[in-house]
């Protein structure tokens, strides 16, 4: 029965249910409420009690005739949904807060760990950032000279704070370097971001060693086996292609060592990757120029923690990377289409067995092995190991190979021009082995001891970069000398200091002397020909010299193309001197008497050269 006066029960119940009350507040009833009204209210279940607290509970009980089934619809579905949304939102906010707190705590713990271990290493007393290093970087100064002073003050290991969370550790002692490079297998994260930004998706040049280990092993096998075919067949073509390009662009009079070395490095790496199709490609010059522009600015834009899409320069750089990818895809298609066996997927000569290239020598180019092996050893599984993966690896190999090879070639050419006696010695070594007018082959180069020694000595004096960089992303490194380097620290080896250390190389450590590699009973050609691994090539019987010769790194992350670089460049230099007379430009003759400061790591001469065809 409806109450005759006082508060209406059911409207009140519905209203309170809408706001989610759990029970009827009987204290609000009027004194005039009859006992029947109280009994009726007591018989009606609480709306809040009828509302399930989970959506699953509501769905199960709403359709199954459970205890909630009669009362939930009466209370109103909207009330339940609002209540459920409010509780879900609160739960998600709490979970997000806990996750952020956990991440921050881990970051703080890692930072404290870095500070604790870093403070134990010798170095300048600066935590936020070393002011001396910052001044050198701002002035564009010589970081090797600055590290040399610090090692003289603090010993073979020096730590520098680049910021509150960035620690740089420089190691100069040869025995510690070997152990460090063996244990520190990762590249810097910035290196991986740089290649990823410039090349796109790729399986090589990844920071983590475990992710790239199988790919490196397969690539090393391919380069070692492929070298004999590529180098012997392409060395003369490379020189002719470079001369034809400079002559067609009317650039012969201004051909300097750096530009000529870059052109030759581009062609030798391109010939190994694409085969002879590179020499007939009309866009080769534009491709080379674009590669150099992308390589120049890649590290700068990759240093941003968040991609700066708002900067016009970054957008222009991304446009250049897109154009580079288009040209790379173009030369890949051209190379594949020119090879009939690949066009019909007849890859019997390039089959993969257990992740390695079974017979890489018979492949037409390095690209053939990448296509047949889907990126060498299946570094990327599934459908992603396709054109995008291959294109990224190709661009990465071009960028890395050109920069390394061009530096070494430029150093050799510069010395050929400035030191005529060296040129005569090299030519005598070449003629003593190969007197015929036919093209050189790799077996001939392996017998040219002085040519090989000249390449190795040039790599010792002027390596590709001043610092060899490594890091350990996950674990601290504890060396035998009880020195612990924290995880995430930037570990560097100042190559100019190590490879010019007078205590190891003698008093003439800073002088160009290829004879130091010509030891009695040591066959450089035999050592290089027998080398098959991815670790450093041991060219010395003395342990100190062997551990201090690091132009291509050492340990598990050493350059897999070190044998390819030494023998390939030796072949190129021998072919150049065998067919051409290398002379300085006449305007440079008056400056030939000026001595070259070999102690200056940064400013080297860049003389212009003239090539004259020999009469054989």
How many alpha carbons lie under 13 Å from residue 390 in its C-beta half-sphere? 23
- Residue 559 annotated as binding site: yes
Residue reference for tokens 């007078």: 502
By DSSP bridging, strand 352-353 and strand 166-171 are unpaired
Largest CA distance in the chain: 128
- Rounded distance between C-alpha atoms, residue 275 and residue 329, angstroms: 15
- Rounded distance between C-alpha atoms, residue 146 and residue 42, angstroms: 87
For residue 273, which of 387, 439, 395 has the smallest C-alpha distance? 395
Q: 293-296: long-range contacts (C-beta < 8 A, 24 or more apart)?
A: 293/320, 294/198, 294/320, 294/321, 294/324, 294/399, 295/198, 295/399, 295/402, 295/403
- Start-to-end CA distance of the chain, whole Å, equals 126
For residue 605, which of 417, 405, 409, 467 has the smallest C-alpha distance? 417
For residue 577, which of 586, 569, 588, 589 has the smallest C-alpha distance? 569
Q: How many CB atoms lie within 10 A of CB 441?
A: 15
Whether 464 and 540 have beta carbons less than 8 Å apart is answered as no
- Rounded distance between C-alpha atoms, residue 485 and residue 113, angstroms: 11
Secondary structure of 193-207 as H, E, C letters? HHHHHHHCCCCCCCC
DSSP H or E stretch at residue 157: strand 157-163
Buried-state track 514-543, b at ≥16 Cβ within 10 A, e below 16: bebbeeeeeebbebbbebeebbbbebbeee
DSSP H or E stretch at residue 356: strand 356-357
- Rounded distance between C-alpha atoms, residue 183 and residue 165, angstroms: 22
By DSSP bridging, strand 490-494 and strand 580-584 are unpaired
Detail the residues annotated as belonging to a binding site for heme: 559
Detail the residues annotated as belonging to a binding site: 559
């Amino acid at each position: 029965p409806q109450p005759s006066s006082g508060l209406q029960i059911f409207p009140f119940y519905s209203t309170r249910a809408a706001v989610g009350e759990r029970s009827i507040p009987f204290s609000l009833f009027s004194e005039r409420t009859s006992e029947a009204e109280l009994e009726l209210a007591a018989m009606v279940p609480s709306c809040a009690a009828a509302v399930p607290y989970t959506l699953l509970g509501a769905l199960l009980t709403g359709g199954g005739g459970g205890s909630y089934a009669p009362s939930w619809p009466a209370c109103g579905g909207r009330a339940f949904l609002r209540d459920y949304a409010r509780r879900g939102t609160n739960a998600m906010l709490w979970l997000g807060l806990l996750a952020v707190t956990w991440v921050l705590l881990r970051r703080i713990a890692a930072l404290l760990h870095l500070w604790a271990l870093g403070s134990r290493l010798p170095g300048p007393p600066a935590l936020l950032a070393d002011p001396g290093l910052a001044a050198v970087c701002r002035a564009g100064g010589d970081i090797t000279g600055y590290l040399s002073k610090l090692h003289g003050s603090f010993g073979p290991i020096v730590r520098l704070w680049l910021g509150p969370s960035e620690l740089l550790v420089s190691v100069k002692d040869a025995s510690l370097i070997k152990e460090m490079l063996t244990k520190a297998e990762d590249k810097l994260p910035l290196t991986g971001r740089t290649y990823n930004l410039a090349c796109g998706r790729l399986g090589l040049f990844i920071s983590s060693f475990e992710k790239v280990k199988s790919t490196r092993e397969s690539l090393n096998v391919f380069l070692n086996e492929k070298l004999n075919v590529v180098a012997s067949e392409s060395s003369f073509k490379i020189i002719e292609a470079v001369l034809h390009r400079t002559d067609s662009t009317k650039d012969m009079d201004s051909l300097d060592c750096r530009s000529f070395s870059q052109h030759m490095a581009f062609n030798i790496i391109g010939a190994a990757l694409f085969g002879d199709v590179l020499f007939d490609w009309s866009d080769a010059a534009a491709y080379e120029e674009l590669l150099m522009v992308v390589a120049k600015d890649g590290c700068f834009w990759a240093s941003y923690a968040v991609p700066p899409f708002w900067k016009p320069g970054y957008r222009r750089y991304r446009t250049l990377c897109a154009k580079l990818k288009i040209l790379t895809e173009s030369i890949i298609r051209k190379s594949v289409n020119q090879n009939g066996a690949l066009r019909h997927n007849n890859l019997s000569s390039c089959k993969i067995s257990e992740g390695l290239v079974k017979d890489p020598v018979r492949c037409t180019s390095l690209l053939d092995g990448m296509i047949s092996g889907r990126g060498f050893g299946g570094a990327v599984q599934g459908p992603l190991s396709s054109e995008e993966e291959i294109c990224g690896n190709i661009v990465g190999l071009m960028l890395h190979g050109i920069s390394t090879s061009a530096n070494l070639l430029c150093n050799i050419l510069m010395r050929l021009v400035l030191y005529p006696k060296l040129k005569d010695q090299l030519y005598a070594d070449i003629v003593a082995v190969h007197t015929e007018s036919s093209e050189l082959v790799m077996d001939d180069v392996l017998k040219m001891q002085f040519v090989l020694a000249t390449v190795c000595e040039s790599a010792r004096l002027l390596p590709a970069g001043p610092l060899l960089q490594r890091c350990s992303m996950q674990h601290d490194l504890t060396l035998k000398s009880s020195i612990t380097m924290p995880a995430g620290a930037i570990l560097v080896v100042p190559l100019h200091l190590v490879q010019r250390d007078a205590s190891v190389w003698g008093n003439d450590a800073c002088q160009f002397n290829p004879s130091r590699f010509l030891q009695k009973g040591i066959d450089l050609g035999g050592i290089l020909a027998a080398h098959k691994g991815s670790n450093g090539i041991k060219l010395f019987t003395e342990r100190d010299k062997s551990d201090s010769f690091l132009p291509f790194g050492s340990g598990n992350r050493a350059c897999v193309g070190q044998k390819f670089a030494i023998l390939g460049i030796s072949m190129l230099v021998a072919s150049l001197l065998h067919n051409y007379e290398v002379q300085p430009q006449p305007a440079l003759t008056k400056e030939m008497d000026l001595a070259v400061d070999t102690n200056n790591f940064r400013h080297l001469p860049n003389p212009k050269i003239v090539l004259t065809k020999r009469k054989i």
